[in-house]
């Protein structure tokens, strides 16, 4: 069964009884023709102006966006330095997590044992594994 290619527009529905291979071939043909149209348009624009057409060929805003990008990199770098300083000041005061001081029995409440050799310890808790197993 042949498909009527003229009636198969982008919003029309092809015949339900058409073979799948025919439909795939038709869609592939459409995709290739659309890609070639785009390539011809870009090639024509770039040959006419003498430069590549990025962002619809407008080159007036590139300096502004370059300055915005540089400013963004400087801002992010400054924030990284600031956060590193805040983190180091916090660590210097000794506010870290102390496991021995915060060993509360309700935090180790187990309804059943874990399936590994030492069932009372968490999987990556090497200190507990050495003590109990």
Q: What is the pLDDT along the chain (133 residues), one digit of tens a residue?
A: 455 555 555 545 555 555 667 777 777 788 878 778 877 776 676 565 566 656 555 566 778 889 999 999 999 999 999 999 999 888 887 766 666 777 777 777 777 888 888 888 888 888 888 888 7
Distance CA 28, CA 22 (A): 10
Give the pair of three-digit tokens for residue 108. Answer: 């180790």
Q: Which residues contact 79 (CB under 8 A, 6 or more apart)?
A: none
pTM score above 0.75 = no
Distance CA 29, CA 130 (A): 66
pLDDT of residue 99: 67
Give the pair of three-digit tokens for residue 66. Answer: 């370059």
Distance CA 130, CA 94 (A): 26
pLDDT of residue 48: 57
pLDDT of residue 26: 75
pLDDT of residue 115: 85
Q: Sign of the C-alpha dihedral, residues 102, 105, 108, 113?
A: positive
Under 8 Å between Cβ of 3 and 30 = no
């Amino acid at each position: 069964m042949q498909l009527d290619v003229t009636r198969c527009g982008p919003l029309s529905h092809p015949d339900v009884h058409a073979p799948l291979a025919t439909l795939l071939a038709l869609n592939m043909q459409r995709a290739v023709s659309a890609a070639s149209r785009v390539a011809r348009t870009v090639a024509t624009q770039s040959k006419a102006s003498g430069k590549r057409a990025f962002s619809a060929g407008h080159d007036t805003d590139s300096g502004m966006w370059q300055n915005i990008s540089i400013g963004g990199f400087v801002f992010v770098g400054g924030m990284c330095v600031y956060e590193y300083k805040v983190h180091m000041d916090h660590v210097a005061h000794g506010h870290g997590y102390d496991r021995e001081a915060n060993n509360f029995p309700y935090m180790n409440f187990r309804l059943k044992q874990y399936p590994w050799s030492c069932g009372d310890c968490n999987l990556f808790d090497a200190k507990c594994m050495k003590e109990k197993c």
